């Protein structure tokens, strides 16, 4: 799974006037709560490790909005290991409100220009804003073409973040100073896809909004004068918010802070929910709770589902081994149910670098050094290797080869705490074509069968392979299937443009047409670089 990327994470913080001083920000004071932003971004660093940034607002600063961002991990960007440099940055960007972002760059471009937040200066304060979002617009090509149909318009980057920014600009010019909920209603009516958004303007007003289907996670908390929001609850818990005060932002609703007053308003309606199931399976921090469902308990339940399906012979030499780190909860639960040891047979080298930002050859070489098999633990054992999911299988193939050569196990049985990934994602996960998906090659003409699993195991170099069935996901998470987006495992997409793109992807695969699916929509000149937000 190390070759799969999400679309990053967002955070926001605001000191509401007239409510005293919060003990959560006693060290920094009301006019410098922005100093809490790097700490919040550290807690969602799992969602993006190539770039980070924040925008802050201070009414007594000549530059009402100040944006600081760069390529690198959060600690690197904010100079957190250099106290004097960090303090100088925090002083320069002090503010009573802030938004932040962490980013993955799936195209591998170490380019600060693509780092978020995106700031758009303007002489009018209500039109001077900075924003960031987590997700992806499935109708990016259509919106981009509409903007460029006017020769007076220009887009400097190949990313839906810039298209998103210009849609906000258009909504702000529709009125002298439109209510922020009306801005959200206008842009929400145009968007098809996933977006959890944070926005801060030069009036000191803020928007925290979530798309009508709630595809990507977003939560918030208010205690006394302090408001905070983030993609994951762990960022709020570690600030000191009580767990009972942390709530999900309702889909289709926006938290709006204007003139220092906080309101929650509906900007779009939907008859259903479509929370991304992959958040619980892989992306989210295991300590987080999203939409009332614990990530840890969901992964534990997935492991218990795997145990119920197990048919391999169990003896004294059988061990369960997780692929670090996201499959550990599932592996622990599976081993406990089977009454066999769960052991650390693989040690992850946390300093080997990210395998997904190099080319395929470099990625393979990086994968070879990412995990070290322990011969003392694995030799002569029947190994049940638990993976959270398989997408391209690049890393897993290399890993299995290394385990056999170095660990010398008797057998390796791969168990996947997720159903087969058979269709692309157009809502922010880096998989846009059918041909790149490992399982899709084996399941083009029918459902998952033991015979198909045997063929996949042979291709991987495992003695056997077993996936979870689709119905196990909703049971483990605790949602009705209709309230989850499971498009990549069912081929049923929750939005019209997502379904349209899926058909384009399927046609491209059948006709051996190379290139990203987005390139086939809106004309070949529309190159959509693989950037997630």
84 CB neighbour count, 10 Å cutoff: 8
What is the sign, positive or negative, of the torsion defined by CA atoms of 15, 21, 27, 29? positive
Indicate which residue of 8, 25, 425, 488 is catalytic: 8
72 Ramachandran zone, left/alpha/beta (phi>0; psi -120 to 50):
left
DSSP 251: T
Looking at the DSSP bridge assignments, the partners of residue 210 are 196
Query: Each residue of 377-400: b (16+ CB within 10 Å) or e?
Result: bbeebbbbbbbbbbbbbbbbbbbb
Structure tokens at 196: 């959890």
DSSP, collapsed to helix, strand or coil, labels residue 89 as helix
Q: How far apart are CA 164 and CA 183, in angstroms?
A: 12
Using only the alpha carbons of the chain, give its radius of gyration.
Answer: 23
Q: Is 492 a catalytic residue?
A: no
- C-alpha distances (whole Å) from 235 to each of 46, 226, 228, 244, 527 are 11, 14, 9, 14, 35
- C-alpha distances (whole Å) from 317 to each of 59, 313, 324, 343 are 67, 10, 21, 12
Active site residues: 8
């Amino acid at each position: 799974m190390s070759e799969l990327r999400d679309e990053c994470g967002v955070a926001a913080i605001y000191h509401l006037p007239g409510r005293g001083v919060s003990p959560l920000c006693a060290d920094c004071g009301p006019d410098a709560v922005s100093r809490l932003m790097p700490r919040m971004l550290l807690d969602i660093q799992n969602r993006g490790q190539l770039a980070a940034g924040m925008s802050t607002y201070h009414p007594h600063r000549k530059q009402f909005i100040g944006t600081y961002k760069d390529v690198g991990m959060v600690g690197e960007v904010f100079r957190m290991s250099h106290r004097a440099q960090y303090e100088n940055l925090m002083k320069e960007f002090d503010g009573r409100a802030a938004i932040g972002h962490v980013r993955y760059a799936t195209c591998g471009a170490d380019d600060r220009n693509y780092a978020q937040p995106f700031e758009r200066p303007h002489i009018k304060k209500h039109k001077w804003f900075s924003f960031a979002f987590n997700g992806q617009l499935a109708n990016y090509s259509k919106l981009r073409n509409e903007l460029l149909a006017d020769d007076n318009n220009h887009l400097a980057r190949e990313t839906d973040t810039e298209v998103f920014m210009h849609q906000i600009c258009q909504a702000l010019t529709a009125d002298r100073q439109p209510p922020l909920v009306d801005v959200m209603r206008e842009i929400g009516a145009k968007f098809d896809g996933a977006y959890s958004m944070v926005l801060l303007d030069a009036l000191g007003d803020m928007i925290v909004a979530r798309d009508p289907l709630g595809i990507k996670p977003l939560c918030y908390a208010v205690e006394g004068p302090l408001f905070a929001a983030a993609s994951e609850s762990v960022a709020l818990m570690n600030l000191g918010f009580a767990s009972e005060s942390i709530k999900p932002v309702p889909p289709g609703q926006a938290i709006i802070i204007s003139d220092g007053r906080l309101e929650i308003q509906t900007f779009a309606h939907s008859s259903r929910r479509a929370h991304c199931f992959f958040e619980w399976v892989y992306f989210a921090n295991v300590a987080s709770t999203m939409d009332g469902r614990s990530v840890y308990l969901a992964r534990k339940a997935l492991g218990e589902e795997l145990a119920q399906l197990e048919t391999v012979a169990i003896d004294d030499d059988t061990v369960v081994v997780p692929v670090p780190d996201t499959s550990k909860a599932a592996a622990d639960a599976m081993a406990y149910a089977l009454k066999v040891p769960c052991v650390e047979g693989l040690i992850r080298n946390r300093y080997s670098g990210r395998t997904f930002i190099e080319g395929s050859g470099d990625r393979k070489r990086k994968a070879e050094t990412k995990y070290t098999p322990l011969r003392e633990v694995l030799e002569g054992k029947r190994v049940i290797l638990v993976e959270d999911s398989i997408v391209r299988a690049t890393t897993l193939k290399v890993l299995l080869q290394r385990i056999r050569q170095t660990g010398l196990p008797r057998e390796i049985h791969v168990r996947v705490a997720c159903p087969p990934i058979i269709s692309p994602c157009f809502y922010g996960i880096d998989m846009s074509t059918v041909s790149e998906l490992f399982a899709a090659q084996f399941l083009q003409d029918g459902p998952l069968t033991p015979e198909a699993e045997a063929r996949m195991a042979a291709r991987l170099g495992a003695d056997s392979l077993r996936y979870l069935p689709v119905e196990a996901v909703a049971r483990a998470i605790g949602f009705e299937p209709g309230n989850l987006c499971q498009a990549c495992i069912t081929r049923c997409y929750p939005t019209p443009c997502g379904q349209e793109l899926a058909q384009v992807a399927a046609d491209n695969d059948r006709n051996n047409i190379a290139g990203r699916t987005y390139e086939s929509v809106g004309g070949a000149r529309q190159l959509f670089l693989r950037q997630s937000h």
